[in-house]
Amino acid sequence: MPRQCEICNNARAILRRPKTGQRICNECFFYVFETEIHNTIVDNKLFKPGDRVGIGASGGKDSTVLAYVMKTLNNRYNYGLDLYLLSVDEGISGYRDDSLETVKRNKEQYGLPLLIVSYEQLYGWSMDSIVEAVGRKNNCTFCGVFRRQALDRGALMLDLDHIVTGHNADDVAETILMNLFRGDLPRLGRCTEIVTAGDGYIGRSKPFKYAYEKEIVMYAYLKHLDYFSTECTYSPNAYRGYAREFLKDLEFVRPSAILDIIHSGEAMQVASDVQLPTLAHCERCGYISSNALCKACILLEGLERGVPKLGIAKSARHAQELLANESAMKSAGKAVEPVHFELLRGKAQAMREQRQMKEQQQECHDCTATSCAFACDDDATGLCSSSKETRRCACADSNAETNAAAS
């Protein structure tokens, strides 16, 4: 006999929640899943009305479900957010090009504007060409550093207030374990935070921080969401792979393990004698950085000079040694100077001012002009000056009468 839903007692249960062990039906699952995300958003005050929020979209399950849920909640609870899809094209053929097709379909399905920024366009190097230069061993370092900055660049191009990413509870627990096992205390302290600072201007958050991967996949399955599921062709990050397998084994015998680990991570305090780097800006590109040059600029410099090991050098001295051998270097000559962050910030600021000005103005009743001529609408007819001209020629008399009557 089919089991009944333990919430509504009214329908067939189709899912056992890993968080609670409850067996629940379709509709109750959608409701509790979405409501928990809503509560995470409200409890942590992730947004304010009018915010422009970018959804980091990879085409994978997490970000696809995130886009769908964000759109749903924004409508249901009137968050008043302007939502955007923001994707990074790393330039990995057979992987990212396919997943970006999924993002483009999501754009149509959800009716959200999409911006794709590519490594090629931003840095002059695609991951395919980086792998060609550095081999398959350290390419993940490049990808991670470039992606982080690429998202910030995209966010400034769209003048976003905030970026949300699809990291789920399993990802967060996995990262806690990895940082713990590596003794990376500064990261251990930061990785449990639901909001992080981004480049210092644009905050990032993880609305799925407490959402189990199993529920995200079930949600996508039950809602028939269109997502892409291929492993990155360059991906083997062995360390993360082991952490993940270990975590899944733990979850198997004790489903609460994932939330328990997050809880422990949150409760851990980074000792005050652990040096947290003080942050300044990169001399070259203006990105936030604890050193004179940010990690991306060092990696790029290494690529340009044909010493790709530069950025993954173990110490500053090691990097100096590598640079000292400069005579042996050839220029790979791809040179795209990344756009300076001050310039991006300036443009974002200008866009913001323009929007604010537009909000204050009404549109002309006759045409859609919002030009400066409109600012001279001192007789408050709601017409731009050129429309006034036109009206005057066409029906000056009747128009004058209407205006007189109105005032």
Partner 1 sequence: MSEAEEITVNVEFSGGMERLMKDQASSIQAKLPEPATIRDLIIHVRDNVVEDKKELFSKNDTVCPGILVIINGSDWEVEDSEDTVLSNKDTVLFISTLHGG
391 in contact with Zn ion (CB under 5 A) = no
User: What character string, x for contact with partner 1 (CB under 8 A) and - otherwise, covers 67-106?
Assistant: --------------------------------x-------
Q: Which is nearer to partner 1, 68 or 227 (by Cβ)?
A: 227
62 in contact with partner 1 (CB under 8 A) = yes
User: What character string, x for contact with Zn ion (CB under 5 A) and - otherwise, covers 4-33?
Assistant: -x-xx--x-------------x--x-----
The one segment of 61-69, 152-160, 260-268, 384-392 that binds partner 1 by CB under 8 A: 61-69
Q: Which is nearer to Zn ion, 103 or 297 (by Cβ)?
A: 297
Q: How many residues does the chain have?
A: 407
| Local structure of residue 138 (DSSP, 8 states) | S
**Interface positions, 296-325, toward partner 1 (CB under 8 A):** none
The one segment of 10-18, 103-111, 317-325, 339-347 that binds partner 1 by CB under 8 A: 10-18
Burial tier of 250 (Cβ tally within 10 Å: 0-12, 13-18, 19+) = middle
Binding-site member from 119, 125, 287, 374 for Zn ion (CB under 5 A) = 287
CB of 16 to partner 1, least distance (A): 4
CA torsion 389-394-398-402 (nearest 10°) is -40
- Out of Zn ion, partner 1, none, which partner does residue 231 contact, by CB within 5 to 8 A per kind? partner 1
| Local structure of residue 202 (DSSP, 8 states) | S
The token duo for 151 is 């998202």
Binding-site member from 10, 196, 229, 354 for partner 1 (CB under 8 A) = 229
CA torsion 271-191-54-48 (nearest 10°) is -50
- How far, in Å, CA of 167 to CA of 165, rounded? 6
Amino acid at 342: E
- Out of partner 1, Zn ion, none, which partner does residue 93 contact, by CB within 5 to 8 A per kind? none
Collapsing DSSP to helix, strand or coil, 15 comes out as: strand
Residue 223: Cβ within 10 Å count? 15
How do strand 203-205 and strand 52-56 relate by DSSP bridges? unpaired
The token duo for 191 is 């990785």
254 in contact with partner 1 (CB under 8 A) = no
- Out of partner 1, Zn ion, none, which partner does residue 55 contact, by CB within 5 to 8 A per kind? none
Handedness of CA 201, 265, 206, 103 (dihedral sign): positive
Report the interface residues with partner 1, using CB under 8 A.
Answer: 3, 12-16, 23, 58-63, 99, 166-167, 171, 213-214, 216-218, 221, 227-232, 244-245, 248-249, 251-252
